[in-house]
Amino acid sequence: MAEAAVQTKEPLFGKKERKLLIDPLNDNNPITVQVLGICSALAVTTLVFKALVMSIAVVFVCAFANLFTSLLRNSIPKQVRMIAQLVIIASLVTIVELVLKALNYPVYKELSVFIGLIITNCIVMGRLEAFAMANKPWRSFLDGIGNGLGYGLILIVVAILREIFGKGTLMAGSPVEMKLIGPNNEAEDIVYLINTAAESGIGSYFSWYANNNLMVLPASAMFVIGVLIWIQRSWNRKLVDIS
């Protein structure tokens, strides 16, 4: 009884809860530290908009899967917990898929397989096993959001680098598309911020500039993430792999 009284006094959003949200962004990042969820991540990072949609989907699935598993954690038998978890995740992913299909069909077409692959995204499964099966619903929900955001952060950083250097645009395919650098094409009404075909002005200093086609290839995502891990670990020494 005394224990229950103490627990009701805990603040709804205290230090521990904040830690659940902030920790996965750096010290315990799902991609660069826990090495989870790389599977469905990297192929969607060619465009920032795709990465953004994917991150929102993962935050949603991760948060609600954590919440529901945590609510059911006392009634799920240990032997069938994997199947139970997979069913929860698969239903949430189906919801995401149908919503995306209705809202933005072109993006759905491009992401199609990778939305489905959120089911086997190890972040979701991993957090369910490691956190939601042993913690209260509210905390599990926050943990899900935190891990989803940590995943989204890396995804978007990689996508920004790949899109700017690979295509010279930002957020292409979305309503707020920005064209940063490249040769203008008046016939097709394509105008860049820095026009590399210009005879004068800033653009004329950049006439040597060409998009880096390596950045569009899948392999470049690996290089970018490898370098990100390098930067993170040089700055956050305690993460360095000693083995």
Binding site for another protein (CB under 8 A): 32, 35-43, 82-83, 86-87, 90-91, 93-94, 97-98, 112-113, 116-117, 119-122, 125, 217-223, 225-227, 229-234, 240-241, 243
Question: What's the one-letter identity of residue 170?
Answer: L
Given the complex with another protein, which of 12 and 113 has the nearer CB atom? 113
Q: Which CB, 208 or 235, lies closer to another protein?
A: 235
Write down the least CB distance from residue 185 to another protein, Å.
28
- Rounded Cα gap, residues 38 and 21, in angstroms: 20
What is the nearest approach in angstroms of another protein to the Cβ of residue 64? 15
At closest approach, how far in Å is the CB of 196 from another protein?
A: 26
DSSP percent split of the chain into helix, strand, coil, nearest 5: 65, 5, 30
219 Cβ neighbours under 8 A, 6+ residues apart: none
Contact 229, 35 (CB under 8 A): no
Nearer to another protein, 13 or 230 (CB): 230
Specify the residue, 28 or 91, whose C-beta has the smaller distance to another protein. 91
Q: Which residues of 1-21 are buried (b: 16+ CB within 10 A; e: fewer)?
A: eeeeeeeeeeeeeeeebeebb
Is 209 or 223 the residue whose CB approaches another protein more closely? 223
What minimum distance in Å lies between the beta carbon of 14 and another protein?
A: 33
Q: How far is it, in rounded angstroms, from Cα 49 to Cα 107?
A: 9
Instruction: Give the number of residues written for the chain.
Output: 243
Min dist CB 50 to another protein, Å, is 14
Contact 11, 21 (CB under 8 A): no
CB of 113 to another protein, least distance (A): 5
In terms of CB distance, is 118 or 164 closer to another protein? Answer: 118
Contact 58, 151 (CB under 8 A): yes
